[in-house]
Amino acid sequence: MNIMKNRLIPLIFILYCFVCMSQNETNIWYFGQNAGLDFNGDSPAAIMDGRLNTGEGCASISDTDGNLLFYTDGVTVYNKNHQTMPDSEGLNGDFSSTHSAIIIPKPKSADIYYIFTADAKGGENGLQYSEIDMALGSGLGGITDNKNIPLHPLITEKLTAVKHATLEEYWVISHRYGTNQFLTFRVSENGVDINPIISGVGSTVEITPDRLNTTGQIKISPNGKKLAVARTADAEVQLFDFNASTGEVTNPITLSSSHGAYGIEFSPNNQILYVNAGLLYQYDLSSSIPSNIIDSELAILDPFSLDNVNTGLGALQLASNGKIYLAQWDSPYLHIINEPNNLGLDCNFELKALFLGGSLSKLGLPPFIQSFFNVGFQANNICEDNATQFTTNISQPYENIIWDFGDGNTSTEENPLHTYNDPGIYDVSLTITSGADNSVEIKTITIYEQPIVSPIVKLGQCDDDLDGFSTFNLNEVIPEITTNYSNETITFYEFEIDAINGNNAISNTIGYRNETASLDLIWARVENNNGCFETSQINLEISTTQIPNTFVREFYQCDNGIDITDGIASFDFSSVPNEIQELFPIEQQLIINFYRNQL
């Protein structure tokens, strides 16, 4: 028992430390010309105490509470007091490298961090790493003897990182210059494995005299399943699958072979890729079919909207608030994609949205371990009286989970369904507990009202050839279904399930012919501008009432009244209704009356 206890105690401690890694580590940015941002408040605040003056590369890291630890341009490291960290000058990155540095914490260690550096333009220093020990310098940190440790001599300016799929480890990915090889390095409790996993896939980046084709960002999606690269001089954007269990890169898709892209970033929900190539492009990654992804390309920024300055757009970087920021050379502002999980213009791109307090942006923004952003949740189907699906983005183990839906209801399920009975604005919170650590994510969601429709309506049509079939103009019934049709989209379907799913709509709405004689049934889908919908049943009724001219019945009757000479007699027409009914379809219900004359 004592042996088991001795083993159990450090295991619990290790789990706690690793789970604590969350978005707060990304909350302090330093970049550009003395520019900085603090994301610890309700909205990002400009900070101007940083010492970086870098054209591109930069990196920073904070603790689990969002307090700055240190930052670097890949050459010099500055501690939280903005002092040069002892022995930290002379790192072999380059301030002019797209990703001059990225910072990785050593798993199962409270003090050790690794700074991976990339030289500019495939320079001879290549890919190296240096070790930071935060226990040095009276807790302000310092470089250990493991400084400028070479990993590969010839790489492009690309560095990104993500958590291992199941283990308490990280992957750091770069690209070997002059080849099509991705280099994936494992960072574990044992340190940095200098033997990379090599994936020869995608385009070969040829060595050129000017070496400008080394530039452009590389990113992995927050869930660790996709990898994308922007190759500026080669005018190419490629997307790959990434295996966060093995470190392998596979399945290349060339999204564009004409965009000189620099910045690249994934949406928090991993479903959208953004590419800065002068214009800002968006790709929908929800399809598994490569051609669909390629064809989804949409430009959401016209370069001429940048006050006629259509050059100098730089890095794209996801932040802990779920927004994506876009740098521009010598600009006192950053541009923002406010709702990057939304397709099209609904992503809410905003020019000059964040003032840097007088400092200037350059091309670069600090990269982070992308799985830091794989926390929080999404809400799909935000309509009243319909089940809203809540989905977590939790990449770490946890002990307890509590949802507060903002309407007095809670749940302990990981991905719950919840129905709001009333439209409105709700503050939804997700609390995740592991050991003594609580992580709370709060989002404000809007629940929209449903369209008001008549559940069953009737559309009648006369038939002139006795077969029970006719041609309907379905649009005629719209005012009977909804009174707000001018602000709604109404489509028609032959089956209720198609109306619910929005599949196989009736294309000819002004010339629809019923498929069942005399009485048929179709469905309408009424959808408002918020994507909420209701369905309505439409009964198509065909009135077949024209008796053929050839239908003649003659009745003869002897004068049988009191006066048998007055020419008046009683006639029995009771057999005629059945004969007339037999002329019409069985489903046709008729009311038959007799009159003295046709008028």
pLDDT tens for each residue of 210-267: 999 999 999 999 989 999 999 999 999 999 999 999 999 999 999 999 999 999 999 9
Structure tokens at 598: 């046709």
CB 539 within 8 A of CB 521: yes
Task: Kindly give, in sequence order, each residue whose CB lies less than 8 Å from that of residue 397, ignoring residues fewer than 6 positions away.
Answer: 15, 19, 434
pTM of the model: 0.66
**Strand ranges (E), 134-225:** 142-143, 149-152, 160-163, 170-175, 181-188, 191-192, 197-200, 218-220
Residue 465 main-chain phi, psi, to 5 deg: -130, 15
SS3 398: coil
Is the torsion defined by CA of 471, 473, 478, 479 positive or negative? negative
Bigger pLDDT: 14 or 300?
A: 300
Return the pLDDT at 18: 35
DSSP-derived secondary structure for 473-511: -GGGGHHHH-S-GGGSEEEEESSHHHHHHT-S--S-SSS
pLDDT tops 60 at residue 3:
no
Q: What is the mean pLDDT of the segment spanning 561-577?
A: 80
Secondary structure tally for the chain: helices H, strands E: 5, 41
Return the pLDDT at 592: 81
Return the pLDDT at 180: 98
pLDDT tops 60 at residue 21:
no
CB 83 within 8 A of CB 68: no
Tell me what percent of the chain is helix, strand and coil, each rounded to the nearest 5.
10, 40, 50
- Percent of the chain at pLDDT > 70 equals 89
Bigger pLDDT: 599 or 487?
A: 487
pLDDT tops 90 at residue 93:
yes
Return the pLDDT at 517: 73
SS3 29: strand
- Starting from the edge strand earliest in sequence, which strands make up the sheet with 437-447, in order? 410-411, 400-404, 424-434, 437-447
Is the torsion defined by CA of 131, 135, 136, 141 positive or negative? positive
* DSSP state for residue 273 in the 8-state scheme: E
Task: Kindly give, in sequence order, each residue whose CB lies less than 8 Å from that of residue 282, ignoring residues fewer than 6 positions away.
Answer: 272, 273, 274, 275, 296, 297, 298, 299, 300, 343, 344, 347
CB 129 within 8 A of CB 117: yes
Return the pLDDT at 13: 30
**Range in 364-368, 377-381, 585-589 the model is least confident about:** 585-589
Return the pLDDT at 2: 35
CB 528 within 8 A of CB 488: yes
Q: Name the residue with tokens 């009174």.
A: 483
CB 324 within 8 A of CB 265: yes
**Range in 138-142, 463-467, 566-570 the model is least confident about:** 463-467
CB 512 within 8 A of CB 470: no
Return the pLDDT at 501: 87
